[in-house]
Amino acid sequence: MMRVFLLSAVFLLPPVYMARAVDSYADMVERLMPSVVNISTERNTIATDEETVDNMMVNPALEGRELLGSGFFIRDDGYILTNNHVINGAKKISVITNDDEIYEAKIVGTDKPSDLAVLKIEENRQNNISSVSTEKAELDEKPAKFKPVIFGNADDARIGDKVLTFGNPYGLGVSVSEGIISAKSRNIGLGEQQYLQTDAAINQGNSGGPMFNTDGEVIGVNAAIFTARGASGVGFSLPSNIANWVSGQLITNGKVRRGWLGITVSNGIDRYTDKPGFVITEISEDSSAFKEGLRAGDIIIAYNDKPATDIAEFKRFTETMEPGQALRLKTLSFGEEIRNVVRIQEMPAEELKDVTNRALSESSKYYHQSSDKDVFYISELKIAVKEANPRGLIITGIESKSPLYGKGIKEGDIILEADRTDIFSADNLLDNIRNAIIDDFRPISLLIQGIDNTFYSTIELAPEND
């Protein structure tokens, strides 16, 4: 009876307790290893901090001579994907494959925003790498074929999923580390690009190497490590969806043609309908969006039948659209729902300067630390403000009797508009307030840029003796 009871107890356990950990990834690693390469570059001078993203490739002992990194085949005819900072400024690039064959590579194209580069190697092997820089390389007659990776969908990856990172740590040769995805959509200060975070070891020399899921698909490109003192197990990989798109653009065009809508947006809520969406805080008059009638203050509630809920996804969606493609927008303007069709343009070299949350927050810190000589007191609103750049007024103080008090408006927030008029100075704001006072103290609508979102707030004005 005891044996029967114990057997029944085992069957009653939830399935999660019966799952066994994978004992070995050896078969998968053996299958994937031929796709991964080591990259060695020679430079006249060492790269500067601007030229490297994370200083992962820089070894003082190799200064002026050689920098090391990783990459992987994305096509069987010799195209390789790696990080731009691995090969930036190189006068010569050598690729070492898993079977220790050495090839010279040429740059097909680079993309600084994503820190990616595509290389192309000749299908003929070099017999002697040391002869390459001084004389014409001897070539085998037999062409080689290379094993490309399969790209997976990084959007499908979940926090806690197992991953394997491949790379060339410290120039020792290709090695493999196991870990998990620790976080997604990490912004690490390299523009607006978001990364996968992992605790799998990413060391010096791993930049440009692939991150695989347990199905053997690439879901990321090793890009950076967090190097603060005491930090360990914090690495970042560029999601495969971006890497796949960028590499295709570089192979086809030699550069990346990004779609451009010509607007800057932030999360907000329409004050007429209480519907959430993306508030347009900046718009270029040269953009198709402006010519189609969109204006700052309008709220995008849907695009191509997708709800406007994730700004990062929206930016990625528009950037990866082909110039000339149509983007369907559903917007709100003064509470009225409008449908627009906007043609995506190619992002110009000098694109519209974004007013990002990071810049706004840094501006707020700067102004709070400065002297009071540039602070203006708006008695009608009982607030102290300071001019922001390129527009708006930073709120440096709010009294408890202010009509803004208790409306979710905080010190450090920025007043961007008053009654749909851009605000550039305290006098500019005062003119709008006085017009509202003349108009029998009618309410005034303010567009407020906070650290987390942008929103409208209706402010009730009252005579001073109230």
Pick the catalytic residue: 54, 111, 115, 298?
115
Amino acid at residue number 9: A
Q: Say how far apart CA 231 and CA 80 lie, in whole Å.
A: 31
Number of C-beta neighbours around residue 331 at 10 A? 25
d(CA 429, CA 415): 9
> Which of 40, 207, 266, 288 is the catalytic position?
207
Is the preceding peptide bond at 239 cis, omega within 30 degrees of 0? no
Contacts of residues 227-233 at CB distance under 8 Å and 24 or more positions apart, as own/partner, are 227/54, 227/55, 233/179, 233/182, 233/199, 233/201
User: What is the rounded distance in angstroms from the CA atom of residue 329 to the CA atom of residue 195?
Assistant: 27
Provide the sign of the torsion angle of the four alpha carbons 373, 378, 379, 384, taken in this order: negative
In sequence order, the 6+-apart residues with CB closer than 8 A to the CB of 439 are none
Annotated catalytic residue within 40, 54, 85, 413: 85
Contact 92, 66 (CB under 8 A): no
Query: Catalytic site residue 368?
Result: no
CB 428 within 8 A of CB 458: no
Query: Tokens standing for 142?
Result: 């037999």
SS3 content of the chain, % helix, strand, coil (to 5): 20, 35, 45
Say which DSSP state 139 is in. B
How many whole angstroms separate alpha carbon 462 and alpha carbon 459? 10
Query: Could you write out the DSSP letters of every residue in 353-396?
Result: ----HHHHHHHHHHHHHS-GGG-EEETTTTEEEEE-SSS-EEEE
CA distances for 76 relative to 97, 111, 215, 336, angstroms: 13, 22, 20, 53
Cβ neighbours of 341 (radius 10 Å): 10
Residue with tokens 């500067």: 48
SS3 370: coil
**Are 259 and 346 within 8 A, CB to CB?**
yes
CA distance 434 to 453: 28
The verdict on whether 207 is a catalytic residue reads yes
Based on the residue annotation, tell me whether 175 is a catalytic residue of this protein.
no
Q: How far apart, in whole angstroms, are the C-alpha atoms of residue 202 and residue 200? A: 6
List the catalytic residues. 85, 115, 207
